[in-house]
Amino acid sequence: MTSEAFYPIGTAGQPWGDAERAAWRARQQPSRSHAEDVVARIDALRERFDVDQYGTLDAGVDGRYPLLAVRSRDWREDLPTALVTGGVHGYETSGVHGALQFLERNALDWTDRVNLLVVPCVSPWGYERIQRWNPWAVDPNRSFLADSPAPEAAALMAYVKCLDVPLLMHIDLHETTDSDENEFRPALAARDGKPFEPGTIPDGFYLVDDSGRPQPAFQQAIIDAVAKVTHIAPADADGTLIGSPVVLPGVIAYDCKRLGLCAGMTDAAYVTTTEVYPDSPRATPAQCNDAQVAAIEAALRYVLEATG
């Protein structure tokens, strides 16, 4: 079923131009502070970790945002390297706060076995505005491409390439929210001049594997760990989650590189994207953050045992 449901910006059937994108941006007002919520917590980690500013997001009249990465202090060439990213979609709160919580409470337990590279908030403008897109109405998580249209994605790819270290693992922390269906997907349809096709929102945690390099046992290990913290999303009646076939309970798969997803930006052997559901009546914000941390630690535990 499709719907021509009205979106406040644009004309049905016509892609947005500059005027519509400007009108959309004018509606996006900050409701929280990247400096207070993210930068200050990263600054507090500087005694224990190295912090790199790998770029600046210049959002024009909305300001300039530092792009920050946290690295193990005792970086060793003989250890494998794991990448953790959060906030690629800035509105997905537990991706950002879960990454920060891992750094604050858990990361030092792992740094004698693995080099950690953690980027808690890839999209700071989106974080402040609880928005999926960047200031130019571009989805960063479809922009990890050679000629990226999103400066946030381009900066992160350039930084990781400059480090010139092989990555064993990459876990990208996301959420699926009710606003996906009642705001962001209608906005996407309006932006692209397409009809809105209603979908469903899974109730619970799930993962997205990379169909180009599937690792089912890796995904299963993460699901098993997170199930102790929050519930795993059941498949819809047609055996799908968000329209994609379930390949394992709580797991679907995308071609991450082809789609320009953050999880496809490296050649790591083990990759996954988490999806927490914060709008469930069965989950709290603390559980969502804990689920992200449980996923990170389960992923690390699995790859270190599998390779070591």
> pLDDT tens across 271-306, in order?
999 999 999 999 999 999 999 999 999 999 999 999
- Confidence at residue 1, expressed as pLDDT on a 0 to 100 scale: 38
| pLDDT over 60 (residue 89) | yes
Q: Which residues contact 201 (CB under 8 A, 6 or more apart)?
A: 176, 177, 178, 180, 181, 242, 277, 279
| pLDDT over 70 (residue 33) | yes
Cα–Cα distances in angstroms (integers) from residue 288 to residues 29, 173, 226, 262, 280, in the given order: 25, 11, 10, 20, 10
Return d(Cα 308, Cα 301) in angstroms, integer.
10
Summarize pLDDT for 209-221 with one digit per residue, the tens.
999 999 999 999 9
Q: How confident is the model at residue 62 (pLDDT cuts 50, 70, 90)?
A: very high
Return d(Cα 153, Cα 159) in angstroms, integer.
10
Element containing residue 300 per DSSP (H, E) = helix 285-307
- Confidence at residue 308, expressed as pLDDT on a 0 to 100 scale: 82
- Confidence at residue 239, expressed as pLDDT on a 0 to 100 scale: 94
Summarize pLDDT for 102-140 with one digit per residue, the tens.
999 999 999 999 999 999 999 999 999 999 999 999 999
Q: Are strands 169-175 and 240-241 parallel, antiparallel or unpaired?
A: unpaired
Return the percentage of the chain with pLDDT > 70, whole number: 98
Summarize pLDDT for 63-79 with one digit per residue, the tens.
999 999 999 998 999 99
Structure tokens at 48: 């224990």
Q: Are strands 206-210 and 270-276 parallel, antiparallel or unpaired?
A: antiparallel
Residue pair 100/41 in contact by the 8 Å Cβ criterion: yes
Q: How confident is the model at residue 4 (pLDDT cuts 50, 70, 90)?
A: low
- Confidence at residue 130, expressed as pLDDT on a 0 to 100 scale: 98
Residue pair 288/175 in contact by the 8 Å Cβ criterion: yes
Q: How many CB atoms sit inside 10 A of residue 99's CB?
A: 28
What mean pLDDT is reported for the chain? 96
- Confidence at residue 2, expressed as pLDDT on a 0 to 100 scale: 45
Summarize pLDDT for 164-194 with one digit per residue, the tens.
999 999 999 999 999 999 999 999 999 999 9
Q: How many CB atoms sit inside 10 A of residue 251's CB?
A: 22
**Least confident residue range of 100-109, 143-152, 192-201:** 192-201
Q: How confident is the model at residue 3 (pLDDT cuts 50, 70, 90)?
A: very low
| pLDDT over 80 (residue 158) | yes
User: Residue 137 half-sphere exposure, CB side, CA atoms within 13 Å?
Assistant: 22
Return d(Cα 235, Cα 250) in angstroms, integer.
7
